[in-house]
């Protein structure tokens, strides 16, 4: 299964390279250090499944690592490198920049998080495969519910992808999302505790199609960077009557589907540009680091939610928002 996803991402990037009308550099056009790759891999792995927003933390990390430059890049012969070469649709073209490559890198290394879920929840994935073959009714129902929950955010993300990239990938947007998400988490945790006797605790994950759709629509909020896909889907699981452990497990499996689609799509759309700027080696390094740290984070979150719930993560989000607000006010961020 790891090989399948790695191959899909590779094919996507190669297909994008084959169709992109741009000059090729003999070597990466900009330097992404080993430290940068490891830091971004750790941030992705630690935050992808914790309800604190991986995208928001990666935006912050990219800022402090100096990966936000929008200066047009050139190859070793001084020729412009293009993300989109000049054409009737784009008369001035869209030049390659470090920021464009870094934004793509932060999505593509999600492959590591996908691999971590596949490793930890292989039994459920096998059950789904058996269900698709008509041999496991519960696995087929889980597959149906994952698809139902996946579709709303996938559709909105496809339609508004460019608008989101242009308007919501900023520090102020992340601050607002962190605060709004904390408020939703406090409410969801209070709601869960007041409905504790109604929670579903038996195996396997039990949802209706309507409940799965509700989780899917809540996941749409995660298109706002800083909100957290994990947070919205866990909260949706709460409101559907799942106890914390089962809500988290459904969130992880839904993340497997959502992240797979997002990673392959982003690889196809911008993978060639990222590879021209950074090369393959640091992409692989970031994904491996993300896989290791994501696996540890998943185990930590399951144990924490079972004992303590979401409250601590909500307070953490408020702390991040306060810190970022102070840095903005002090002119250290923009």
Q: Percent of the chain, pLDDT > 70? A: 88
Helix (H, G, I), strand (E, B) or coil at 74: strand
| Domain residue spans of the chain | 2-329
Closest CA to 323 of 75, 64, 71: 64
Say whether pLDDT at 14 is over 80.
no
Q: Which of 12-16, 20-24, 191-195 tops mean pLDDT?
A: 191-195
In the prediction, which pLDDT does 199 show?
Answer: 63
Residue with tokens 């054409």: 87
Q: What is the DSSP secondary structure assignment for residue 82, as one 8-state letter?
A: E
Residue 199 — φ and ψ, nearest 5°?
-75, 145
Closest CA to 112 of 282, 290, 285: 290
Say whether pLDDT at 264 is over 70.
yes
CA distance 291 to 191: 33
Low-confidence winner among 8-17, 188-197, 203-212 (lowest mean pLDDT): 8-17
Q: What is the pLDDT of residues 122-175, one digit of tens each?
A: 999 999 999 999 999 999 999 999 999 999 999 999 899 888 888 888 889 999
Q: Would you report the helix, strand and coil content of the chain in percent, each value rounded to 5?
A: 75, 5, 25
- Mean pLDDT within 43-71: 92
For residues 246 and 233, is the Cβ–Cβ distance under 8 A? Answer: no
Closest CA to 233 of 140, 310, 320: 310
- Mean pLDDT within 189-208: 77
Q: What is the DSSP secondary structure assignment for residue 201, as one 8-state letter?
A: -
Q: What is the DSSP secondary structure assignment for residue 78, as one 8-state letter?
A: S
In the prediction, which pLDDT does 198 show?
Answer: 66
* CA distance to 1, 80, 106, 159, 187, per residue, from 311 (Å): 35, 50, 27, 33, 10
> What is the model's pTM?
0.85
Which distant-in-sequence residues (6+ apart) come within 8 Å of 168 by Cβ? 223, 224, 225
């Amino acid at each position: 299964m790891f090989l399948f996803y790695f191959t899909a991402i590779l094919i996507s990037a190669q297909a994008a390279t084959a169709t992109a009308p741009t000059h090729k550099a003999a070597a990466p056009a900009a330097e992404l250090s080993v430290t940068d790759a490891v830091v971004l891999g750790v941030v992705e792995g630690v935050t992808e499944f914790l309800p604190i927003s991986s995208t928001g933390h990666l935006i912050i990390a990219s800022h402090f690592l100096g990966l936000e430059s929008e200066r047009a890049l050139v190859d070793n012969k001084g020729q412009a490198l293009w993300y989109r070469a000049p054409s009737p649709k784009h008369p001035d073209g869209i030049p390659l920049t470090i920021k464009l490559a870094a934004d793509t890198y932060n999505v593509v290394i999600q492959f590591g998080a996908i691999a971590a879920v596949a490793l930890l929840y292989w039994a459920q994935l096998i059950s789904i495969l058996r269900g698709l073959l008509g041999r496991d009714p519960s696995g087929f129902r889980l597959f149906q519910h994952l698809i139902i929950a996946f579709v709303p955010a996938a559709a909105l993300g496809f339609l508004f992808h460019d608008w989101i990239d242009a308007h919501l990938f900023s520090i102020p947007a992340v601050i607002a999302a962190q605060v709004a998400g904390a408020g939703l988490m406090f409410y969801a945790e209070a709601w869960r505790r007041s409905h504790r006797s109604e929670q579903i605790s038996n195996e396997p994950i039990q949802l209706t199609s309507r409940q799965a759709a509700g989780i899917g629509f809540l996941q749409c909020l995660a298109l706002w960077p800083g909100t957290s896909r994990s947070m919205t889907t866990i909260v949706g699981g709460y409101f559907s009557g799942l106890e914390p452990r089962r809500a988290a497990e459904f969130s992880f499996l839904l993340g497997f589907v959502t992240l797979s689609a997002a990673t392959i799509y982003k690889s196809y759309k911008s993978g060639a540009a990222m590879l021209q700027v950074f090369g393959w080696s640091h992409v692989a390094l970031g994904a491996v680091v993300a896989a290791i740290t994501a696996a540890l984070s998943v185990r930590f979150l399951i144990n924490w939610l079972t004992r303590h719930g979401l409250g601590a993560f909500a307070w953490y989000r408020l702390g991040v928002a306060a810190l970022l607000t102070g840095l903005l006010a002090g002119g250290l961020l923009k």
